[in-house]
Amino acid sequence: MIKLTDLLRELDLRSGELGGSFVNDTSLYISFFNNFNFENAELMDELSSEQLEIVFNSEADQSEVRGKVLSEVNDYQLLDPGIGMTLYIVNTSAKTWKEYIVGSVDVEVMNNKPYRLKGGQIILTYISKPYRGKGIGTLMYYMVLVHYRTLFSDEILYEGSRKVWLSKIYGIANFFGAQVLDFYIPLTLEDAQDDSLVGSPAILSYVASINPSPEMVKLSSALRGLSLSEGEFGVYEYPEDTDAFLDAIVGLDDLLDIIELNELVSMFDANDRPNAIVVRTSDAVCVVKKVGKKLRSTVI
């Protein structure tokens, strides 16, 4: 086996240049060698396309790869080169570099989310042409979720990404929902599939967590089985604190009477026979449900 560094030395470094700077398989492979600090990797910028093909199709010496394994599924690994936010999916059963380097995913580590929830937000993904249509995109999201324990979408969720969230992420997360204001509401699968709901400007992002915060668990339990898209519960904002809100609903025995309070601002309307309402006060989140003939409030 010839080492990649030796191969680069042997090639004529002045006979060609790369094309445009758009993302393609070539730029994926070159970024991999650069980010994992391969010796002489910077020389690839001077190679012709024919010379690059020789490099990419050469035998992969995986011992040259110095990176941290973040997640592993069968022959696939999620690797962190320890620089920047770009992680790489590799196939450890591969023979050549082109087979070994599967794709990349840019992940921003999020530390300032509601309830001090930490996790990863996928910014950009790229899968090499030989691996497209083989479920690698779904695998990529899964591996990121497993490592970071919580996964956030960005504000723009494209159709392909949304399908992955619904087909794979929903089923393995202990909490699946959306950020509204500065807290998270749980979503049923039907909610997450509802185009009008997901397209609402009130929803800032999806969130899926294997390890949700106590507040998320409590809210999910209080609203279990209820659909936001069907209006079985509504989401509202109240300008004053929780004590003021609880004082305002004393003596009321119907959720519709609470909804009609002048101070309440609707984020998502409930139907005319709601099972619960969620109210964000200035200092907490309250869930009000009808139990028998009385209303029961839970402060989260």
CB 187 within 8 A of CB 219: no
More confident residue, 153 or 300: 300
- pTM score, whole prediction: 0.82
Question: 87 in helix, strand or coil?
Answer: strand
Please state the rounded mean pLDDT for residues 122-136: 93
- How do residues 240-255 score in pLDDT, each as one tens digit? 999 999 999 999 989 9
The CB-side HSE value for 284 (13 A sphere, CA atoms) comes to 16
93/82 Cα distance (integer angstroms): 23
233/270 Cα distance (integer angstroms): 5
Tokens at residue 105, please?
A: 């995913």
- How do residues 71-96 score in pLDDT, each as one tens digit? 999 999 999 999 999 999 999 999 99
DSSP codes, 129-157: GGGTTTTHHHHHHHHHHHHHSEEE--S--
- How do residues 277-289 score in pLDDT, each as one tens digit? 999 999 999 999 9
Residue type, 222: A
Q: Is 10 exposed, middle or buried (0-12, 13-18, 19+ CB in 10 A)?
A: exposed
- How do residues 174-186 score in pLDDT, each as one tens digit? 999 999 989 999 9
CB 98 within 8 A of CB 75: no
